[in-house]
Amino acid sequence: QVQLVESGGGLVQAGGSLRLSCAASGSIRRINVMGWYRQASGKQRELVAIISIDGNTNYADSVKGRFTISGDNAKKTVTLQMNSLKPEDTAVYYCKADAQTYGVGGSNRDYWGQGTQVTVSS
């Protein structure tokens, strides 16, 4: 019912910047929370940054001061501006949305994008 498409991943040198974007589509009544998680090779998936419909944000301690998340409720998009990138930021980044759909079976639930690779070289 809900599809999430990420873009903006790639290869960048340490200290550089990337901007990730995620667009949601489908029979969406409301998106409560939307944001980004990442999973490095051999590690657990972890929260990077999320933003709620009222604009409140949460960041992982490791990215505070370097990453900024923003959202557009009308366009159903979220953007992650990543500055001062470090090799330890290398991971697959996944967009996630906590959303409610129209019609039957429209309870709030999580939806995930396919992921986009971010690689930071030293």
**pLDDT tens profile 93-104:** 999 999 999 977
- Give the strand order in the sheet containing 2-7: 2-7, 18-26, 77-82, 67-72
For every residue of the chain, DSSP letters joined together read -EEEEEE--EEEETT--EEEEEEEEESEEEEEEEEEEEE-TTS--EEEEEEETTS-EEE-GGGTTTEEEEEETTTTEEEEEE-S--GGG-EEEEEEEEEEESSTT---EEEE---EEEEEE-
Q: Which of 8, 114, 29 is nearest to 76 (CA)?
A: 29
CA distance linking residue 104 with residue 121, whole number of Å: 47
pLDDT value of position 95: 98
CA distance linking residue 15 with residue 97, whole number of Å: 29
pLDDT value of position 49: 98
Q: Residue 8 pLDDT > 80, yes or no?
A: yes
